Amino acid sequence: MTAGIALAPLVELSDVSVTYDIPMQQSVVEALQGVDLAIARGSFTSLIGPSGCGKSTLLRVVADLIEPTTGRVLIEGQTPASARRARQIGFVFQEPALLEWRSVLDNVALPLELQGLGRAKRQAEAGRLIDLVGLSGFEAVWPSQLSGGMKQRASIARALSTSPHVMLMDEPFGALDQITRDRMNLELVRVFEQTGITVLFVTHSIREAVFLSDNVIVMSPRPGRIVRNIEVDLPRPRSLLVRDSRTFGELVRIGARELEQGYDA
């Protein structure tokens, strides 16, 4: 019985399609077409594909920010809406989206506050997560005083605060410079390996995807379909040295080739 639960995917999409109406042009856009995807518990999965391939749409469907036009999404057997209401979903957006009138501590504690947790408890938990993402000492600081990378750390800590079962990340490091981005990748790998949380991660960068993930899902241009699932068999815990290995280089090449084929089609 326990084995059965462990093997069941945490997030399961079956035949999910999303179409948007564009009233101004009297047309519809197919953002996603017939997507089947199973995400194993405790795994790190990246979605990669050209701009407009529906990667973000897929995340938003899982987070109950968009309803799929057809198909079904299940998170531990529940609908996204009930998983969201049970606070089992964490979401990190490309923008940090911090509340500028709250300190870092109160920003990280926000989801717990919305949940109705007492002040002492939520601040203790937020403090622990601030340590985890490497922001110790900045609890009392306002977001406007943080660098871009630090804001995104706070945003990640906030998404982790309710101990969600699945963490959705929509190009969280897209706006950062390369060096900060490498460092954030390393921190994210560490947080993932320490917490054992399930992550679904959207990115443009194949190197970032391979470095972070257990599975890299390559998507086609619009309408977004899954063209390949690349298994990343690199050892954990990972350090930046992983990127010098032959396997890493080979996986990046495979991913890049798949992406290019998508552009030709």
119 binds other proteins (CB under 8 A): no
- The residue range among 5-13, 38-46, 136-144, 245-253 that interacts with other proteins, by the rule CB under 8 A, is 136-144
111 binds other proteins (CB under 8 A): yes
Give the nearer residue to other proteins in terms of CB position, either 1 or 179: 179
CA distance 260 to 2: 42
- The residue range among 84-92, 125-133, 191-199, 231-239 that interacts with other proteins, by the rule CB under 8 A, is 84-92
115 binds other proteins (CB under 8 A): yes
Residue 172 per-residue DSSP state: T
- The residue range among 29-37, 71-79, 80-88, 190-198 that interacts with other proteins, by the rule CB under 8 A, is 80-88
Calculate Rg over the CA atoms of the chain: 19
Q: Which two tokens stand for residue 16?
A: 């999910």
149 binds other proteins (CB under 8 A): yes
CA distance 83 to 164: 9
Q: Which two tokens stand for residue 6?
A: 């462990």
Q: Residue 94 CB: number of other CB atoms within 10 A?
A: 16
Please enumerate in sequence order all residues whose Cβ is within 8 A of that of 246, keeping only pairs 6 or more positions apart, or say none. Answer: none
Q: Which two tokens stand for residue 94?
A: 């490309």
201 binds other proteins (CB under 8 A): no
Interface positions with other proteins (CB under 8 A): 63-65, 84-85, 87, 89-91, 93, 95, 97, 99-103, 110-111, 113-115, 137-138, 140-142, 144-147, 149-150, 158, 162, 180
